[in-house]
Structure 1
């Protein structure tokens, strides 16, 4: 009897080492920054290159699900088709810029209380499917380092909301707002409002895509 148990245990252990691991399917859910991230040179593609350098590219499938102009409620409304239908193991949510920016550019945007409610609803729906969730703070609307960008106050407010959401829902946080501020303090001595990590104060240039990919790597790949 003991011999049978030992043999069974050995077989189970052997199978654990020989069976292929399930490929992690990561969906990046967001706005135009993520839409561009899935194109050549975008942060999702750069992340794929980083995975190759580490020799683990076969363990991950990276899927972009970004649409230009999207706000938190847009993400909530298209979750079924654009995220859940892809059966992800992990979803990275990066939204918030348009919720703030569009208040100025088009008189829309999203009030802070509604933003928080939609964000919670998105996370709860994903967690109900046992999907791992990682969320990101919005990076920049202008790159000046002295908080003289017009929307810095609101952007910092929404970044803080996201940090609190991460704690309340026990999800991973990639704090791109903090990362961008620190990078600009070190690399933007002329206090420019763009062309350090972004092309226009919001959308990523080559250095911005590289930095975001590196932060995604740290936050996602253990």
Structure 2
């Protein structure tokens, strides 16, 4: 066994549905955040495509728990659910979660994170983005269905997310409101009416970074800058505890 202490990177965990899972694709918001935090923090993608807040609440203790030593160094967690919860019950009962339960699930997720040592000040809730119904209806028809989400309903879930964040003491990124502010063309932010386009990923990156930066700004560069390594005795630089 090595006599030297293992270097442990702090972690930012991205917990959400497909919009999170896909965030590590080229130019995705998750990969951009990871790039900004290279050598300072590991960005861990825990996006679960198709999941709603009920299923998220059930699996969360399997993903983050106080028993794991690796989970004791978490700088931030994003919680990004709602795009599936807001599916219309009569069109998509498999994913639909009532507005009241969605709110309660978010609060329970916050409690579960707290019990795992992740305090509310490290948590950022993210609301579902707006839905462009004509584009999403085409996707639904291609899959043999009918339009199963409405932008107005997504807005109700976004509002519930904002309210839950206030009650839990977490930050919140209200994408539904921000993307439609001042009557801007929010459809540019969506690739298929529901998921993010390249512009949408850029939008999330910039707004999320504004909330995330203060949580990670003081994290040091892990392991010495190459120019600071002692050329004659690199061990003295590279094997010392930071």
TM-score range, shorter chain: 0.7 to 0.9
Report the secondary structure of 1:138's partner residue.
coil
TM superposition shift of 1:201? 0.9
Structure 1 segments (4+ residues) deviating >4 Å: none
For residue 132 of structure 2, what is the aligned residue in structure 1?
142
**1:24/1:31 CA distance change after superposition, 3 Å:** same
RMSD (Å), alpha carbons: 2.4
Is residue 133 of structure 1 aligned with residue 123 of structure 2? yes
Provide Cα deviations, 1:146-166, integer angstroms capped at 9, x if missing partner.
Answer: xxx961222111111111111
Aligned length: 186
How does the TM-score come out when normalised to structure 1? 0.75
Provide Cα deviations, 1:107-157, integer angstroms capped at 9, x if missing partner.
Answer: 34001111112111110111123312110111122178xxxx961222111
- Provide structure 1 residue ranges, at least 5 long, that are not aligned to the other structure: 1-20, 189-193
For residue 27 of structure 1, what is the aligned residue in structure 2?
13
Provide Cα deviations, 1:20-71, integer angstroms capped at 9, x if missing partner.
Answer: x98431111010111100223221012233x2xxxx5322211111111110
Q: Is the contact made by 1:37 and 1:45 (CA closer than 8 Å) also made in structure 2?
A: yes
TM superposition shift of 1:106? 2.0
Is residue 43 of structure 1 aligned with residue 41 of structure 2? no
Which residue, 59, 84, 96 being the options, matches 2:40?
59
Which residue, 186, 197, 204 being the options, matches 2:184?
186
Q: Is the contact made by 1:47 and 1:214 (CA closer than 8 Å) also made in structure 2?
A: no
Report the secondary structure of 1:209's partner residue.
helix
Q: Is the contact made by 2:57 and 2:108 (CA closer than 8 Å) also made in structure 1?
A: yes
For residue 164 of structure 2, what is the aligned residue in structure 1?
165
